[in-house]
Amino acid sequence: MSGARETTGPDALAAMFARARREGRAAFLPYFPIGYPTVADSLDAIEALARAGVDGFEIGMPFSDPLADGPTIQAATQVALENGVTVGRCLDAVAELHARGVRQPMLLMGYLNPLLAYGLERFARDARAAGAAGVIVPDLPPEEAGSLTEACAREGLAQIFFLAPTSSPERIALVAERAQGFIYLVSVTGVTGARDTLPPDLQAFIARVRAATSTPLVLGFGISRPEQVQQVRAWVDGFIVGSALVRAAAAGVEAVRDLALTLRHALDEA
């Protein structure tokens, strides 16, 4: 694999947030898994998202037991596994997307077991070579992340950690201390999935974290509609949309692009 990014992961993310701030908006980071509905379709969808003006990507690496994911993404990643998608194929996909001209930071999102099987040192090295900006591992808390953290540091990759509404002040302080690139805020105490409304205490949760760190905050889990984007855009530095885009993919790449454009335009509306 070839085509390393021009900047390191944390620097690429910092530049992404700085650009969004200059434009007076939050950054839009869609999630999309490699291999759904097919590998070729997933690459086309991500390329279409890039052309739609999103700011970065959470690139899903399929796993058989995705504990943080709701039914939409679980079903999609199961299809991807049946399509033969592996960690190595996901790394190849990032390299191919980079070769196609996708310059937005790409964060590889996956679970620990496949990375252990691949080898953490090897994974970090190959992720960097493919052009990834960082990694997101939902089932790896910071207290247990030492080996991957060291490997990512050597390769200039950002490692993203999570906070939830149930996070204690001690956990918030720990993640704030170790955060690179941004902190991933989980909007609900549950799994991913589009929701009709966001929790009423969400702003208070975000304020608690904001008081503890100047690191950018990115909100995920449950965002799917333009009005939700408009609701949270002043509270956080970025947001992630996953399930709604994956669901749209069943109708084709154009449906994914159209939803992304709708959400992106919501950032610019008064």
Mark whether 69 is an active-site residue: yes
Q: Give the active site residue among 58, 96, 126, 155.
A: 58
Q: Which of 21, 30, 103 is nearest to 262 (CA)?
A: 30
Residue 86's φ and ψ, nearest 5 degrees, are: -125, 175
Residue 267 contacts residue 229 (beta carbons within 8 Å): yes
Q: How many CA atoms, within 13 angstroms, populate the side-chain half-sphere of residue 79? A: 18
Mark whether 150 is an active-site residue: no
Q: Which of 227, 225, 185, 179 is nearest to 202 (CA)?
A: 185
Q: Which of 223, 197, 236 is nearest to 70 (CA)?
A: 223
Q: Which residues of 27-48 are buried (b: 16+ CB within 10 A; e: fewer)?
A: bbbbbbbbbbbebebbbbbbbb
Residue 151 contacts residue 171 (beta carbons within 8 Å): no
Q: Give the active site residue among 11, 44, 55, 69.
A: 69
Which residues does the annotation mark as catalytic?
58, 69
